[in-house]
Amino acid sequence: MRAAAPQAKTDTLLLNLSDLASVRGAAERIAATETIDLLFNNAGVMNLPTRLTTRDGFEMTVGTNHLGHFAFNAQVWPALRRSAGARVVTVSAIAARWPIGKLDDLMSENSYRGMSAYAKSKRANIVYTLELARRTAHTTVEAFVVHPGAAMTGLQQHGTGPLTRLFTPLAARLLMGSAIGAAWPSFYAATSPDVTSGEFIGPAGRDQTSGTPGPAKLPKGADDPELDARLWAESERLTGITFAT
């Protein structure tokens, strides 16, 4: 960033999304005086081989990928509202469409599979964003959810099975795009004048794994106002934070 815009002022704020106390401390530093014009909810973990929990007792994948972002967004809301036209861009994944991503047993207490927990967290990202768009329709804040397609990044580090080790290099060559290309939908959502709050955006190429950004297909049932409101209420209950838009 400094190389691209040497005149710009940059700052770094440490934040652990799997620890609500860390989220609160970071948010408090921002909410009191700063203005946020653009917020990317982009951090995540995937396919943890065993069920781990956050410091607050949540299943680690959903706790980090959804609840941590939810809590941070709720607590920096004053800084977003101070902007003349803020955008919140939340990064989901194609995995959100998988049947194993249904939001029942959100904390994977009945059974745990790494990719199922990941799919749940990514569907929660979509459901959260759609509800945020509804609740902020009276404000200048816009909410978008994107999926990056497929790209080889550090997220694949937990695929340790023999089939995964065999398939991943082949998939990387034949099916997956670059990490830079995977960022296009996020920047498109952040900057394009042709998008509408609540829109789901992803690569428009073959199987939506790479290509020029465009509208993406929502998981079945994700755009259900009743479901979306339930997840919002459950997120408030679990985090103990009221997200008043």
Judged against a pLDDT cut of 70, whether residue 167 lies above it is answered with no
Cα 227 to Cα 128: distance, rounded to the nearest angstrom? 10
CA atoms lying within 13 Å on the CB side of residue 37 = 3
Catalytic residue, candidates 112, 118, 128, 188: 118
Q: Which of 16-25, 28-37, 154-163 has the lowest mean pLDDT?
A: 154-163
What's the mean pLDDT when you consider all of the chain? 89
Give the other-Cβ count within 10 Å of 63's Cβ: 28
**How far are the Cα atoms of 81, 145, 150 from residue 132, in angstroms, in the given order?**
13, 10, 26
Asked if residues 60 and 52 have their Cβ atoms less than 8 Å apart, the reply is: yes
**How far are the Cα atoms of 29, 90, 210, 212 from residue 12, in angstroms, in the given order?**
12, 20, 30, 31
Residue with the bigger pLDDT between 8 and 91: it is 91
pTM of the model: 0.89
Q: Which of 108-112, 129-133, 180-184 has the lowest mean pLDDT?
A: 180-184
Tokens found for residue 156 = 């694949």
Residue by residue, DSSP assigns 157-206 as GG--SHHHHHHHHHHHHHT-B-HHHHTHHHHHHHH-TT--TT-EEEE-SG
Cα 187 to Cα 116: distance, rounded to the nearest angstrom? 28
Give the chain's length.
245
Q: Is 112 a catalytic residue?
A: no
Cα 136 to Cα 74: distance, rounded to the nearest angstrom? 12
pLDDT digits (tens, 9 = 90+) for 79-88: 999 999 999 9
Beta bridge partners of 203: 213
Q: Which of 125-129, 206-210, 228-232 has the lowest mean pLDDT?
A: 206-210
Instruction: Work out the burial of residue 166: count CB atoms within 10 Å of its CB; fewer than 13 is exposed, 13-18 middle, 19 or more buried.
Output: exposed
